[in-house]
């Protein structure tokens, strides 16, 4: 018999209770049990960063995080950024700059750059590139992503 | 694609999250040999996905506050083993007193992983690619290792005994890293990666001006990092940087025997190591 444990997470502003096994990854629970599909599954080994979520406000890769580790914590994904005016403008900036081709990495880039800009809205150059280096874009739209994020700094300065 | 297959899933285990060290060590003793400590999880979770390890119990130590402190005591700078790479880089104490560690922390995976990677986890798996261990060895750091019955202090250079093998007992864990206080300690860290970001070689350098100590540690080229001090290196404090670098590179070139693997050949690793060491020395002591 599989012994499940009930965990409670604040997912995108809603308190969600879910039964999980100890060995389940946060990524699987978010996608398959809670229907949060902006969190993408790609490399499964912490390299590509497409499964990045904010766990208690800090970006982590959800394929490297156990679901039980998130018990009692707050999880924010691209869907949850809708309530933040600045993050909406950031997403518009991605569209204006064409900062995507297939779009598979976009949610992770939006979540990561939202965190980076809320921490330091003055960031630019090599430092900004380094901060975004945890997420990989296979279409290679890095220049556009960089421009989009740099342009969106103004919304975070207010 | 089935999510119970290796690589996409983890083997079955029971998860514990103790909130104090005594409980964690008791669990580790009780399930000795069947339990693994989980901190950042970067190594352990990947090793479980690839079915390299099958722990029956996983003990998460992120809930233990005393493992997350960085403080200055009379023993030196004490760093809890669950301090993350991001915290190491942000800490004023680490940046001022352990500069080579602060720099090494900036190389531990990418910026997102650094929020999870812990210093204890980085060194205790015993992989040659660790960034923390060369930096710690260059500062002659000590490790506080505990099981439920006793506490022992060991030099960081005694930790690794082979690839993936450490001298830690199955009921033991690293609780603290102690960097002995040295006046005027300075240092840096250099790393060379291949295109898929696997380390070919790393070099950590630490020195003190007042007591005239110089340590050079070359990592990622063998199971255990190579450790050199000023007398081995033929370093002359009154010499010019060029003559010192030449002598150091010569000593290092003739003493290291790097491994050959799919990432790089022994010869290539040796050349890269020499270049990294001279870069690190020039960064600290000037010269072109």
For residue B2, the model assigns a pLDDT of: 52
What CATH number should be reported for the domain holding residue A151? 1.10.150.120
Residues A108 and A135 in one domain: yes
pLDDT digits (tens, 9 = 90+) for A37-92: 999 999 999 999 999 999 999 999 999 999 999 999 999 999 999 999 999 999 99
* Mean pLDDT computed over B73-87: 96
In angstroms, the CA A57 to CA B222 distance is 38
Show the CA angle centred on residue B225, arms to residues B222 and B228, nearest 5°.
125
Name the residue range of residue A116's domain: 84-157
CATH code of the domain covering residue A62: 3.10.20.30
Predicted confidence band at B182 (pLDDT cuts at 50, 70, 90)?
Answer: confident
Q: Are residues A96 and A55 in the same domain?
A: no
Tell if the CB–CB gap between B49 and A60 is shorter than 8 Å. Answer: no
| Residues belonging to chain B with any Cβ–Cβ distance to chain A shorter than 8 Å | 3, 7-15, 17, 38, 41-42, 45-46, 48-49, 58, 60, 62, 109-113, 115-116
Which among A37, A63, A78 is the end of a domain?
A: A78
For A91-149, write each residue's pLDDT tens digit.
999 999 999 999 999 999 999 999 999 999 999 999 999 999 999 999 999 999 999 99
Give me the residues paired with residue B226 across strands. Answer: B218
**Shared domain check, A97 and A132:** yes
Last residue of a domain, one of A52, A78, A104: A78
Q: Alpha-carbon torsion B207, B212, B213, B215, what sign?
A: positive
Residue B63: closest C-alpha in chain A = A69
Q: Does A71 lie in the same domain as A102? A: no
- HSE of B180 in the Cβ direction (CA atoms, 13 Å)? 14
Which fold is adopted by the domain B65-179? 3.30.465
Question: Distance (Å, rounded) from C-alpha B27 to C-alpha B58?
Answer: 10
Q: How is residue A65 annotated by DSSP?
A: S
Between vectors from CA B219 to CA B217 and to CA B124, what angle results, nearest 5°?
Answer: 105
Domain-wise residue ranges, chain B: 14-60, 65-179, 185-285
ipTM: 0.94
> What stretch of H or E contains B278?
helix B266-285
Domain end among A78, A105, A133: A78
Name the class of domain B14-60: alpha beta
Q: Structurally, what CATH architecture does the domain formed by B185-285 represent?
A: 2-Layer Sandwich (3.30)
Let me know the angle formed at the C-alpha of B119 by A117 and B264, rounded to the nearest 5 degrees: 95
- A116, A138: one domain: yes
pTM of the shown model: 0.94
């Amino acid at each position: 018999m599989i012994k499940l444990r009930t965990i409670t997470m604040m997912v995108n502003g809603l308190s969600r209770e879910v039964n999980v096994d100890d060995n389940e990854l946060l990524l699987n629970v978010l996608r398959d049990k809670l229907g949060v599909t902006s969190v993408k599954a790609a490399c499964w080994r912490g390299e590509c960063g497409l499964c990045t979520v904010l766990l208690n406000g800090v970006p982590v890769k959800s394929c490297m995080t156990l679901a039980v580790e998130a018990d009692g914590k707050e999880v924010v994904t691209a869907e949850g950024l809708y309530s933040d005016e600045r993050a909406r403008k950031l997403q518009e900036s991605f569209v204006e700059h064409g900062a995507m081709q297939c779009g598979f990495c976009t949610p992770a880039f939006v979540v990561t750059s939202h965190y980076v800009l809320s921490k330091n809205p003055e960031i630019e150059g090599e430092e900004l590139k380094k901060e975004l280096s945890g997420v990989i874009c296979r279409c290679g739209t890095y220049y556009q992503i960089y421009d989009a994020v740099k342009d969106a700094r103004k919304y975070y300065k207010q | 694609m089935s999510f119970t297959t290796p690589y996409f899933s983890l083997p079955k285990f029971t998860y514990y999250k103790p909130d104090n060290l005594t409980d964690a060590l008791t669990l580790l003793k009780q399930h000795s040999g069947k339990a693994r400590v989980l901190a950042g999880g970067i190594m352990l979770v990947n090793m479980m996905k690839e079915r390299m390890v099958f722990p029956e119990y996983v003990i998460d130590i992120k809930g233990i506050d005393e493992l997350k402190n960085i403080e200055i005591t009379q023993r030196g700078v004490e760093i809890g083993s669950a301090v993350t790479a991001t915290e190491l880089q942000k800490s004023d104490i680490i940046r001022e007193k352990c500069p080579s560690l602060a720099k090494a922390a900036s190389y531990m995976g990418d910026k997102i992983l650094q929020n999870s990677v812990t210093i204890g986890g980085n060194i205790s798996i015993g992989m040659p690619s660790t960034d923390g261990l060369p930096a710690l060895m260059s500062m002659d750091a000590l490790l506080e290792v505990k099981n439920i019955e006793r506490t022992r202090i060991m030099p960081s250079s005694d930790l690794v005994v082979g690839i993936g093998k450490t001298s830690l007992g199955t009921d033991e864990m690293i609780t603290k890293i102690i960097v002995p206080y040295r006046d005027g300690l300075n240092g840096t860290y250099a790393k060379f990666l291949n295109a898929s970001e696997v380390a070919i070689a790393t070099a950590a350098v630490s020195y003190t001006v007042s007591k005239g100590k110089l340590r050079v540690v070359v990592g990622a080229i063998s199971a255990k990092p190579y450790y050199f001090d000023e007398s081995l290196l033929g370093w002359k404090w009154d010499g010019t940087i060029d003559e010192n670098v030449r002598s150091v590179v010569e000593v290092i070139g003739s003493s290291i025997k790097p491994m050959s693997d799919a990432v790089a050949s022994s010869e290539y690793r040796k050349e890269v190591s020499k270049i990294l060491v001279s870069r690190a020395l020039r960064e600290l002591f000037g010269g072109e």
